[in-house]
Structure 1
């Protein structure tokens, strides 16, 4: 039987991807006590990596879509950490978003809103979190966005 969070996702028409495998020598998440630290999830959709640089060849809306894709992968990792039971999620504690952007691009918070808005839409109050949005010169494989997260579970 689907849990409350899975039912909410289904109601919204959202299907989480499988938890992505690590791209290098690290684990996708580490559980310490009741906290799950999820490694950075890069912007990836059903058709592959979402590449680009904000302020150069991507606009804020496309960047926010890339951040939403990262958030979906983050939640997929949490589901894996919880043995498939998303109802073990107590709250999203913190997201740190990295935006591949030009030096003069200053709308990183608007880009990372794509992830924050997704967490709120999918999880309600449980999805409200602390956050940082940082502009960087480059990200692995040329992706537009990478987001890491800290989650509390029971």
Structure 2
């Protein structure tokens, strides 16, 4: 993959949003050394918060994947705001994906793949990462997915 990260985003039809401001007492990104810790990102789109509800109830796996992809877009937006140039991303190190799902729903990994697949599409092999995908009883604002990231940067 010789084209730029910005070109790959454009080819995927993605325009990065202005990153959302924190809604509580935390910062969106902390840099220590060459690592960025990106706070949990929720599915905020052009019209505000999207995908309010539970996977396995209001949403199926495909809608959950779309929600996770939107979280991934917001992770990249926060990363760009923190470092300025996405070419400085060395590797997506780890994701922690939380799925607001019904007690009997067990396909959390398939949902979080919406973000994982997107990050590989954008960053190529640098987008391959370690990951957790867990179910939770609820998430802020009732959203279906929240994802945090650890990213190595130059």
Range into which the TM-score falls when normalised by the shorter chain = over 0.9
Q: TM-score, normalised to structure 2's length?
A: 0.95
Shift of 1:49: 1.2
Give the unaligned 5+ runs of structure 2. Answer: none
Are 2:26 and 1:29 aligned?
Answer: no
Match of 2:64 in 1: 63
Shift of 1:11: 2.4
Contact 1:44/1:66, CA 8 A, preserved across alignment: no
Report how many residues are paired. 151
Give the unaligned 5+ runs of structure 1. Answer: none
Match of 1:146 in 2: 146
Match of 1:38 in 2: 38
Paired residues for 1:111-150 under 5 Å: 111-150=111-150
For 2:128 and 2:63, the matched residues in 1 are separated by 22
Shift of 1:145: 0.3
Are 2:123 and 1:96 aligned?
Answer: no
Contact 1:19/1:80, CA 8 A, preserved across alignment: yes
Shift of 1:47: 2.2
Are 2:26 and 1:20 aligned?
Answer: no
Contact 1:66/1:114, CA 8 A, preserved across alignment: yes
